Copies of this chain bind each other. A is one copy, B any other.
Amino acid sequence: MNDTISAMLARRSIRAYKPQQIPDRDLNWILEAGIYAATSRNMQAWYLTAVQNKELLKRLRDAACDTMLKSDNERNREKALDPEFSPFYNAPTLIIISGNESRNARIDCANAAQNMCVAASSLGLGSCYLASFTMAFEDPGVAATLLRDLGIPDGYTPQFGVALGYAAEHPTTPHRRRDVIRVIK
């Protein structure tokens, strides 16, 4: 096994972070990894917003909680009432991956998110790929202000989030199903 595949196998979804911020150099490499992901017809339909600003992180958390409080799911409502709860696990850096209106934008964004999580793993950082993170943008009024303050360009919609930081937990290797592979020679 080489270092790249090793970083892929070592990647975990980290749901507890130390407060210490990640180095700028690491963040820059992770963003670079994102924009070198595969992109349909070279559309590069992504926009990456790395948020380290505490006030903005709190507003994103609160917006997600407001949506969760209105949810039909009781567990979601309970979580949102917990002042310690954070949809990005209180990570010191949150990357928002937004997609434009082109047809495969959401897939481009997924590719960028996957690359960034593996890049974080290769740098010894924890990450979590957040697929349901877009709930912070569900209320149209709140979303309009948030998108403006985040500087996300018109025509782009948040698709995924990637939480980044130093891991404060070390989850065990997740079980992987082996019966999902078939080789036909």
Contacts and interface: CB of A to CB of B under 8 A. Distances in A.
A69 interface: no
Contact of A131 (B44, B104, B122, B151): B104
Contacts of A111: 110-111, 113-114, 129
Contact of A184 (B3, B9, B32, B50): B50
Contacts of A114: 37-38, 110-111, 114-115
Interface string A138-180: 0000000000001100000000000000000000001011101
A36 interface: yes
A67 interface: no
Given A42-B174, A107-B131, A150 B184 contact: yes
Number of chain A interface residues as a range? 35 or more
B47 A180 contact: yes
A136 interface: no
B50 A36 contact: no
Given A52-B184, A107-B131, 19 more contacts: A1-B29, A2-B3, A4-B4, A4-B118, A5-B119, A5-B122, A8-B33, A8-B36, A9-B33, A9-B36, A11-B36, A31-B181, A38-B114, A47-B182, A48-B180, A48-B181, A111-B114, A115-B118, A151-B182
Interface of A: 1-5, 7-9, 11, 13, 27, 29, 31-33, 35-38, 40, 42, 44, 46-53, 56, 104, 106-107, 110-111, 113-115, 117-119, 121-123, 129, 131, 150-151, 174, 176-178, 180-185
10 contacts: A3-B4, A8-B118, A36-B176, A42-B174, A44-B176, A46-B180, A47-B180, A50-B181, A50-B182, A106-B107
